[in-house]
Amino acid sequence: MKYIIRFCLSLLFLLLIVAGLLFSLEISFEDIFQLKINWQEMSSDFLYSFLRVTLTAIVAWIIAIIIGKLLYAFAWLKIITLPALNFIRHISPYAWLPVAIIWFGLGETPAAAIMFTALFFPAVIMTTELYEQVQIEYREEANICGATGWQVFSLVEIPLMKVEFINLFRILWGLGWTTVIAVEMLGVKQGLGFRLLDFRYLLKYENMVVYLLLMGAAGIVVDHLLLYIIKKYMRESS
């Protein structure tokens, strides 16, 4: 019963936020319900944005896990590269927009570069810290049993940190999903950000609200799905 009450209260709070957004834009719920939505166009925009975020997050996640391992294994490499990694990590991805246009022009290439930059550098810092949290006893026992470096990585560290790594991907995907709107304003031909920019120029605020609701709903669904996977692995581990 208490879960139903919590859900209803959360839904009510969300509806109040949506109502406040509509009121600030002088839009009624009736305007939203009567809006003629191009479902094919919206589905296509959503798919393009979802794939951009997901594929970039996967690539940044995998590379960061490998680079993080190298930084942990080689202290000298970490000493040399960590200041530069932290320097780039603290620069907002939006600050790279004019630089990306100068380097790559407009289109998919600068969009991918900005998205990757926004996700990769924080991921490297976090993965390096995750490796440091693994108890040294596990590595020492594996080495005593004759395990190679690759075996320690694949059979000891990855299984021990699978929950943390999945949670890292969850964080990266959420970060990418909040970044994709600005990224898709760099001259791509489809996507939620591209369409929102179009709606802004055409003063189609009702359509903008629908796309914002879609983004929020999709983010909640993906986040809960990844949380479910994390809790499943946690139950198996215990």
Topology of the domain comprising 41-237: MetI-like fold (1.10.3720)
At 2-20, the pLDDT tens digits run: 778 877 777 788 778 877 7
The whole-angstrom distance between residue 181's C-alpha and the CA centroid of its chain comes to 12
Contact at 8 Å (CB) between 79 and 142?
no
Asked if the model's pLDDT at residue 238 lies above 70, the reply is no
The mean pLDDT value of the chain amounts to 84
Distance CA(199)–CA(185), nearest Å, equals 12
Average pLDDT over residues 36-40: 81
Give residue-wise pLDDT tens across range 182-215.
888 777 888 888 888 888 777 777 888 888 888 8
Residue 229 has pLDDT above 80, yes or no: yes
